Amino acid sequence: MKRLEKIYEGKAKIIYSTDNPDLLIQYFKDDATAFNGVKKGTIVDKGVVNNQISSRIFKYLEEKGISTHFVDQPTDREMVVKKLEIVPVEVVMRNVVAGSLAKRTGIAEGTPLKQPIIEFYYKNDPLGDPMINEYHIAAFGWAAPREMEEIKSLGSRINEALSEFFRERKIRLVDFKLEFGRHKGKILLGDEISPDGCRLWDWETGEKMDKDRFRFDLGSVEEKYRQVYRLVCQD
């Protein structure tokens, strides 16, 4: 398969077309951003680590019967994926109070939730990905009601599967974001699942093992990313 022209570059990845019109290549960068791009930097070898972790997790979810865009991992930084029509709705699954949920509610970070919370955000970088609800999604035609029902169901199934996956590795899955897209009439999980888009805490100590270490200058960023990689990919 040939990597052709760059068709999109985001904060963490570059998307290339290929000689197969149905497939794309995601190239994972070391660039790091936080607070909607206000803070910028580099996490050494982040692209390699995130590609490995995402590939492992996508394969695990496929084994659980959850369809994803993952096809192959030809190099350390590249992932071959199915071409999706992205639904412009970011889905956030929450199991523990943290981040913006703590700020919005005043409830202490680290408080376990009695049941998972599903939140929706409009994927729009210039607007800062504002929080939305299903009325907005339906009114603006970002996804059909039946698609949102499927997305919510998939989100819950993914959360259940990954909570168990990380718990077995002594990691608490606090919250994480998901992106979905349409492929030949079917909703598939897209993007990536890595420490960039998940809050992951050490099960025993509560130590953060994700991009919050970069956001809040906690140090040992590369070390914690590599620790997640070892626990996820070298079991």
Residue 76 and residue 102 share a domain: no
Q: How buried is residue 112: exposed, middle or buried, by Cβ count under 10 Å (0-12/13-18/19+)?
A: exposed
Is 152 within the bounds of a domain? yes
Residue 99 and residue 50 share a domain: no
Q: What is the per-residue pLDDT for 3? A: 94
The CATH number that applies at residue 38 is 3.30.200.20
Q: What is the per-residue pLDDT for 31? A: 94
Q: Name the pLDDT band for 158 (thresholds 50, 70, 90).
A: very high
Q: What is the pTM of this model?
A: 0.96
The structure tokens listed for 22 are: 């149905």
Q: How buried is residue 155: exposed, middle or buried, by Cβ count under 10 Å (0-12/13-18/19+)?
A: buried
Of 24, 54, 82, which residue sits at a domain end? 82
How many CB atoms sit inside 10 A of residue 146's CB? 9
Query: Has residue 235 got a pLDDT over 90?
Result: no
Residue 108 and residue 210 share a domain: yes
Query: Has residue 194 got a pLDDT over 70?
Result: yes
Residue 16 and residue 103 share a domain: no
Is 213 within the bounds of a domain? yes
Residue 194 and residue 128 share a domain: yes
Residue 161 and residue 115 share a domain: yes
Is 67 within the bounds of a domain? yes
Is 226 within the bounds of a domain? no
Is 48 within the bounds of a domain? yes
Residues 6 or more apart whose Cβ sits within 8 Å of residue 235: 169
**Is residue 227 a contact partner of residue 234, using CB atoms and an 8 Å limit?**
no
Is 176 within the bounds of a domain? yes
Of 82, 105, 124, which residue sits at a domain end? 82
Can you list the alpha helix ranges (DSSP code H) found in the chain? 46-63, 99-105, 134-139, 145-167, 212-215, 221-233
d(C-alpha 151, C-alpha 228), whole Å:
27
Q: What is the per-residue pLDDT for 201? A: 98
Average pLDDT of 101-112?
98
Q: What is the per-residue pLDDT for 234? A: 81
Average pLDDT of 63-69?
98
SS3 for 216?
coil
Q: What is the DSSP string of 171-192?
A: EEEEEEEE-EEEETTEEEE-S-
| pLDDT per position as a tens digit, 8-42 | 999 999 999 999 999 999 999 999 998 877 789 99
Query: Has residue 140 got a pLDDT over 90?
Result: yes
- The DSSP 8-state label assigned to residue 77 in this structure reads S
**Is residue 200 a contact partner of residue 193, using CB atoms and an 8 Å limit?**
no
Q: Name the pLDDT band for 224 (thresholds 50, 70, 90).
A: very high
The structure tokens listed for 123 are: 């994927």
Full domain range(s) for residue 174 = 85-220
State the total domains in the chain: 2
